[in-house]
């Protein structure tokens, strides 16, 4: 999956989401939405590890939700980076991949 293409597709979806719900995706929204999704991932992790109430969900449902929350966090992070013109592949190279042996 090409990261730039994915991010462009996510942008279109996100614009539509904002239009449908009638809010401005201002710079703060991107960070706040990312924080919201990290919180949801945390909640799903707690359920997945048996440290939060299942709220009637089956183990399979809990596992599926846990996995889906990773996608939400990744997508919001990509949108946040795009909004601030961060070249994530270049930054990953600079920050992480320079340590490859």
5-42 residue pLDDT tens? 999 999 999 999 999 999 999 989 999 999 999 999 99
Residues above pLDDT 70, as percent of the chain:
100
pLDDT at residue number 27: 87
What integer best gives the mean pLDDT of the chain?
A: 97
pLDDT at residue number 1: 81
Compute the distance between CA of residue 78 and CA of residue 6 in angstroms, rounded to an integer.
9
pLDDT at residue number 26: 94
pLDDT at residue number 45: 98
Compute the distance between CA of residue 32 and CA of residue 39 in angstroms, rounded to an integer.
11
3-state SS track over 60-92: HHHHHHHHHHHHHHHHHHHHHHHHCCCCHHHHH
SS3 state of residue 21: helix
| Mean local confidence (pLDDT), 70-76 | 98
């Amino acid at each position: 999956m090409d990261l730039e293409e994915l991010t462009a597709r996510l942008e279109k979806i996100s614009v539509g989401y904002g239009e449908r719900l009638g809010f401005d995706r201002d710079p703060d929204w991107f960070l706040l939405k990312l924080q919201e999704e990290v919180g949801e991932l945390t909640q799903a992790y707690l359920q997945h590890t048996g440290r939060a109430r299942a709220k009637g969900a089956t183990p399979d449902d809990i596992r599926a939700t846990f996995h889906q929350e990773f996608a939400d966090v990744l997508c919001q992070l990509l949108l946040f980076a795009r909004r601030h013109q961060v070249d994530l592949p270049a930054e990953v190279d600079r920050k992480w991949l320079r340590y490859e042996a």
